[in-house]
Structure 1
Amino acid sequence: MLLNTHRSQLVVVDVQARLMPAIAEADQVLANTGILLKAARRLGVPVTATEQYPKGLGTTVDTIAEALPPEAVVVPKITFSAAGNAAIAERITSLRGEGRDQLVICGAEAHVCVLQTALAFRNAGFNVFVVADAVSSRSQHSVNAACARLLHAGCNWVTTEMILFEWMERAGTDDFRALSPLIR
């Protein structure tokens, strides 16, 4: 199944100031999350961002917060799965009611909040796409275990470039000219 901008929504999980310094390949996660946000803004893909216990882990990293589209919603949570937070679950489910049944997920940590969010929404009937080069954990072993478990559960393991090219659909458009420099 290919991603489609009219069916997609982007969920940025816990890309927070006090958490990211401990995350393996954090610079890559931040860069690719930024690319996904620029594409979502350009292509009209709704964005929901979560913050796990912001009092302890801080708020969303400044560069990511600044890249959020104006209509994005940022919701604090204490549940590891975003689906366990009523406000987040309601937003994501209401967007599915508008035909947005494809959930693109990036963030941290791959084996905790990303995994639990992806599995919960997969079990709720969403088509889930976890962005391999925009998720990480404190150790690569945890990322590998998350990948295996997510694939086994029927989630898709994709890359930032896969998402952009599927969302753009074709070359030669204004969107292609605007977004292709992000992945060169």
Structure 2
Amino acid sequence: MASLARNLGKINYKSSVLFLCDMQEKFRGNIQYYPQILTVANKMLQGAHAMDMPVIVTEQYPKGLGPTVSELDVSQLKVYPKTQFSMLIPEVVDKLSSMKETKSVILCGIETQVCVQNTVLDLLEKNYDVHIIADACSSRTMVDRMFSFQRMKEAGAFITTSESMLLALCQDAAHPNFKPIQKLIWESAPDSGLLNTSIKGETAL
């Protein structure tokens, strides 16, 4: 009897896009580990540029919540304003539809239990592979953050880390763009509380 095909979540930079979700100024002071999350998201943004990958950026109600943080240089990118609690507003859907080779979405941003999670579910419904960069996603509370990771994993998304993803995109140290990626991972990602223990004493993920 033939075994069912498994989706291993293997990724190729030629068919991938980076999503940056609502990483805005007004969230400073409210999001757990926000400075660390921004540091990691910036690594992913620089990595996407190094690999010549497309990047999609959204901002939740920028009139009230401000622009994307200065740590992330999105000045050369189209930024999509929204009020919907998902990045998949019609304009983003149209953009994705025009990217015929795209199979995988790499996702960073906030808040994990709201716009990140809803984006993930919408993307999975459209049959994209979704890879969540755990050290580049956060929430106002660690409870929301951790249970959202669990929820998205159960739905079929892949939970990974920035270093793992950047090296997966390269696939080989002989890749012509490995050197800039190597520089990005030379210093380990800052701690963002992912190994905090739960009530039962199990690791958060």
Report the TM range for the smaller structure's normalisation. Answer: over 0.9
1:59 CA drift (Å) = 0.7
Equivalent of 1:115, from 117, 134, 147? 117
Could you list the runs of 5+ residues in structure 1 that have no partner in the other structure?
none
Q: Give the TM-score normalised by the residue count of structure 2.
A: 0.83
TM-aligned CA deviation for residue 69 of structure 1: 7.6
CA displacement 1:112-163 (0-9 Å, x = unmatched):
0000001111111111111100000001101111111101100110110111
Q: Distance in 2 between matches of 1:146 and 1:128?
A: 14
Q: Does 1:87 align with 2:91?
A: yes
Task: Name the SS of the counterpart of 1:129 in structure 2.
Answer: strand
Q: Residue type of the partner of 1:100?
A: T
Task: Tell me by how many angstroms 1:63 deviates.
Answer: 1.6
Alignment size in residue pairs: 178
The one-letter amino acid paired with 2:93 is A
Aligned structure 1 segments of 4 or more residues deviating by more than 4 angstroms: none
The 3-state SS of whatever aligns with 1:112 is: helix
1:169 corresponds to: 171
Q: State how far apart, in whole Å, the 2-side matches of 1:26 and 1:159 are.
A: 16
Structure 1 vs Structure 2 CA RMSD: 1.2
Give the structure-1-normalised TM-score.
0.93
Larger Rg computed on CA atoms:
2
- Kindly report which structure 2 residues correspond to 1:66-105, keeping only aligned pairs within 5 A, or say none: 66=73, 68=74, 70=76, 72-83=77-88, 85-95=89-99, 97=100, 99-105=101-107
* Structure 2 gap ranges (5+): 1-8, 187-205
1:42-81 alignment runs, 5 A limit: 42-64=50-72, 66=73, 68=74, 70=76, 72-81=77-86
Identity %: 30
Larger relative helix fraction = 1
- One of 39, 45, 69 as aligned partner of 1:37: 45
- Give secondary structure in 2 for the equivalent of 1:82: coil
